[in-house]
Amino acid sequence: MTDTTDTTDTTASGARRETLGFQAEVTQLLDLMIHSLYSNREIFLRELISNASDACDKLRFEALHNPALFEDDPELAIRVDYDAAARTLTIADNGIGMSRDEVIANLGTIAKSGTREFFARLSGDQRKDAHLIGQFGVGFYSSFIVADRVTVVTRRAGEKPDQGVRWESAGAGEFDVEMVEKAGRGTEITLHLREGQDDLLSGSKLRSIVRRYSDHIVQPIRMKKEEWKDGKPGKLAEDETVNQASALWARPRSEIGDEQYREFYKHVGHDFDDPLAWTHARVEGRSEYTQLLYIPARAPFDLWDRNARHGVKLYVRRVFIMDDAEQLLPGYLRFVRGVVDSADLPLNVSREILQESRDIEAIRGGCTKKVLDLLAHLAGEDREKYAKFWGEFGRVLKEGIGEDPANRERIAALLRFASTQADTADEVVSLADYVGRMKAAQEKIYYVTAETFNAARNSPHLEVFRSKGIEVLLLSDRVDEWVVGHLADFEGKALVSVAKGGLDLGTLEDAAEKGEDRQEAEEFGPFVERLKASLGERVKDIRVTRRLTESPACLVADEHDMSANLARMLRDAGQPGPAWKPILEINPRHPVVARLRDEERNFDAWASVLFDQALLAEGGQLDDPATFVKRINQLMLEMGADRPGAAA
């Protein structure tokens, strides 16, 4: 929040002038911005024009219900002027304007969710921080990159001329506000340039910046034309429009350059960086609309913030309707930015109407398909870009497996997982890669879930698969449990957890191995019964396994029970659930198991240790670690006592 009044005085006109303090984060942001974005200083103009354009869009939208807001000035436009003598630049619009309270809230605080977290992430390393700032959005405050004093005079549309507000700040911790007269509605921002910024006081320089960054702005951006005299700019003459002033998305693709697409993205996406990819299409049919959708190159800092508003802008026949129209795309594509312009929706469409509109359903389906197509295209044509995308947004996309059953197959094809085939968590494989590598006799896709990549990679459940050279997917994202819970198969191959149910390698095992199985189960029958009696309630069942080649024992979940990993996640999240009981599987060929089979004196202690170590090996936590340690020590001493020559 803004600090309360520091000083109040009364100006000659009687209007109250107040000096207020910036929210602490604003001061921090200003500081950072001036230093880290200096090499990119020209972007201030893009940001101010972008805001002016949004303000015009908002006015047009509000005027749909209240045409009086246009006052006598219906043609929306943005002006850029400079005054070489005063060393100022002015960016003016006749958009919605701001009231006094809005000025204080908008230009004195940062009203974004996650602001505190954002500032906590700043490292002090300017290069890294500059990137973060870009993600956070620079906006109005970027004017202080080139100005040491900024004056804003604004009046909200529909208010009387005496309801103008003047805001001024040198960017050093505080700002002044006072009420002033302003004849026309809208906002006028004057930048008092810092030393060394005089090159900006040039029509040709400003024009080139506007054309470069703001050509796509829908409203005309007007500047005074210069009359040249003796090879020098002379008198300022009548206005000219500097940009194309038409909706970029409504132009044919062939007429739009990549650079224009990129700059438009920065405007709609409030991003500082270039987008990763985009898709632009006009759809005709039952429902008619144009979509220009972008995939950002980086995840925004508030991607996981449930309250953050996400989505694309909705226009109806070129008229801006709303920001963040989340109904236009499903939640798992919330990172997409851009514009949808519908030819069918009524201009008075509201968020409530959107929720029920059939037209919106068609648009949402169409946009979803376009984005998934774009991703599939990247995955196929530009693996490096796709890997980047996956690193930033993969975890969000995974949510789609449960959220969007109609597109499950398409989303599944876009998933990437770590695998026993690779060495690091970053080397990921697709399900199609996996299927392409499957053994001739292999019928299933195997995976293991664990809390971390290392826990997954070293899971004892993988032993038999390693020994037979069968690939296993290593799933360690929290959301992976949800993914495999909703994804029963891929290309007709069932996805199967290696830590659930009895081991059934199907035709991957030969008859001889199966025969050995039966024989071992029989031979170990009495021992298993003894173990059951000893471990009692701690296990659901005990059986002999071929799953293990190196470990003496492991825990598995029953076929239809939840996995151990999921049970742990739920417990950690404080969610009550039925007590999870594992099945203990023992490796009949392991010397420890053989040793235990012959054990008489300390059978119960050995059995407990066998169970506890199996639990530890797969990432579980012991109920009673102290007793575990005591038992181990006791058994170690006993072993020492057995040694020939040890004191009796």
CA-nearest of 258, 284, 285, 275 to 312 is 275
Q: Which is nearer to ligand ADP, 52 or 209 (CB)?
A: 52
Is 261 a binding residue for ligand ADP by CB under 6 A? The answer is: no
With CB under 6 A as the contact rule, the residue among 93, 404, 471, 585 that binds ligand ADP is 93
CB 249, min distance to ligand ADP, A: 20
- Residue pair 449/480 in contact (Cβ under 8 Å)? The answer is yes
| Separation of first and last alpha carbons in the chain | 76
Is 270 a binding residue for ligand ADP by CB under 6 A? The answer is: yes
CA distances from 180 to 30, 42, 88, 204 (A): 26, 30, 20, 33
Residue list 183-242, contact with ligand ADP (CB under 6 A): 187
Q: Which is nearer to ligand ADP, 141 or 332 (CB)?
A: 141
In the numeric block, which tokens belong to residue 353?
Answer: 């109407």
CB 143, min distance to ligand ADP, A: 9
CA distances from 495 to 34, 425, 431, 561 (A): 53, 20, 10, 16
With CB under 6 A as the contact rule, the residue among 98, 206, 553, 583 that binds ligand ADP is 98
Q: Which is nearer to ligand ADP, 69 or 401 (CB)?
A: 69
CB 93, min distance to ligand ADP, A: 5
CA-nearest of 485, 459, 458 to 556 is 459
- Residue pair 321/340 in contact (Cβ under 8 Å)? The answer is no
Q: Which is nearer to ligand ADP, 26 or 415 (CB)?
A: 26
Q: Which is nearer to ligand ADP, 137 or 338 (CB)?
A: 137
Q: Which is nearer to ligand ADP, 141 or 265 (CB)?
A: 141
With CB under 6 A as the contact rule, the residue among 28, 40, 90, 106 that binds ligand ADP is 106
Among the listed ranges 91-99, 307-315, 348-356, 439-447, the one in contact with ligand ADP (CB under 6 A) is 91-99
CB environment 398-416: b (16+ within 10 A), e (fewer): bbbbbbbeebbebbbbbbb
Q: How many of the chain's residues bind ligand ADP (CB under 6 A)? A: 15
CB 101, min distance to ligand ADP, A: 12
Q: Beta partners for 494?
A: 444, 489
Q: Which is nearer to ligand ADP, 217 or 562 (CB)?
A: 217
β-pairing, 444-449 vs 417-419, is unpaired
CA-nearest of 105, 116, 115 to 140 is 105
Rounded Cα–Cα distance for residues 174 and 168 (Å): 9
Is 397 a binding residue for ligand ADP by CB under 6 A? The answer is: no
Pure H helices in 382-510: 383-398, 400-403, 408-414, 431-437, 453-457, 463-467, 478-486
CB 96, min distance to ligand ADP, A: 6
With CB under 6 A as the contact rule, the residue among 45, 55, 396, 448 that binds ligand ADP is 55
CB 260, min distance to ligand ADP, A: 21
Backbone angles phi, psi at 186, to 5 degrees: 100, -165
Q: Which is nearer to ligand ADP, 141 or 386 (CB)?
A: 141
Rounded Cα–Cα distance for residues 648 and 644 (Å): 10
Is 95 a binding residue for ligand ADP by CB under 6 A? The answer is: yes
Residue list 553-572, contact with ligand ADP (CB under 6 A): none
Point out the residue whose Cβ comes nearest to ligand ADP: 139
| DSSP code at position 273 | S
Rounded Cα–Cα distance for residues 174 and 606 (Å): 71
Among the listed ranges 94-102, 368-376, 418-426, 468-476, the one in contact with ligand ADP (CB under 6 A) is 94-102
Among the listed ranges 7-15, 95-103, 194-202, 373-381, the one in contact with ligand ADP (CB under 6 A) is 95-103
CB 281, min distance to ligand ADP, A: 27
Site string for ligand ADP, 289-318 (x = CB under 6 A): ------------------------------
Among the listed ranges 47-55, 373-381, 583-591, 618-626, the one in contact with ligand ADP (CB under 6 A) is 47-55
In the numeric block, which tokens belong to residue 247?
Answer: 């909706």
Rounded Cα–Cα distance for residues 541 and 535 (Å): 10
With CB under 6 A as the contact rule, the residue among 29, 45, 52, 609 that binds ligand ADP is 52
Q: C-alpha angle 283/287/288, rounded to 5°?
A: 45
- Residue pair 583/625 in contact (Cβ under 8 Å)? The answer is no
Is 394 a binding residue for ligand ADP by CB under 6 A? The answer is: no
Is 272 a binding residue for ligand ADP by CB under 6 A? The answer is: no
Q: Which is nearer to ligand ADP, 107 or 283 (CB)?
A: 107
3-state secondary structure of 577: coil
CB 370, min distance to ligand ADP, A: 26
CB 335, min distance to ligand ADP, A: 17
Longest dimension (CA), the chain: 114
- Residue pair 621/577 in contact (Cβ under 8 Å)? The answer is no
Q: Which is nearer to ligand ADP, 141 or 261 (CB)?
A: 141
Q: Which is nearer to ligand ADP, 71 or 520 (CB)?
A: 71
With CB under 6 A as the contact rule, the residue among 51, 407, 497, 613 that binds ligand ADP is 51
Q: Which is nearer to ligand ADP, 92 or 484 (CB)?
A: 92
Among the listed ranges 90-98, 346-354, 410-418, 562-570, the one in contact with ligand ADP (CB under 6 A) is 90-98
Site string for ligand ADP, 424-443 (x = CB under 6 A): --------------------
Tokens 């197509």 belong to: 373
Enumerate residues 6+ apart whose C-beta is below 8 A from 607: 531, 534, 535, 596
Rounded Cα–Cα distance for residues 206 and 191 (Å): 14
With CB under 6 A as the contact rule, the residue among 45, 96, 133, 496 that binds ligand ADP is 96
Residue list 121-150, contact with ligand ADP (CB under 6 A): 137, 139-141
Is 163 a binding residue for ligand ADP by CB under 6 A? The answer is: no
Rounded Cα–Cα distance for residues 490 and 425 (Å): 22
CA distances from 139 to 30, 36, 106, 514, 543 (A): 11, 15, 11, 68, 64
Rounded Cα–Cα distance for residues 438 and 492 (Å): 13
CB 165, min distance to ligand ADP, A: 11
The residues binding ligand ADP (CB under 6 A) are 51-52, 55, 93, 95-98, 106, 137, 139-141, 187, 270
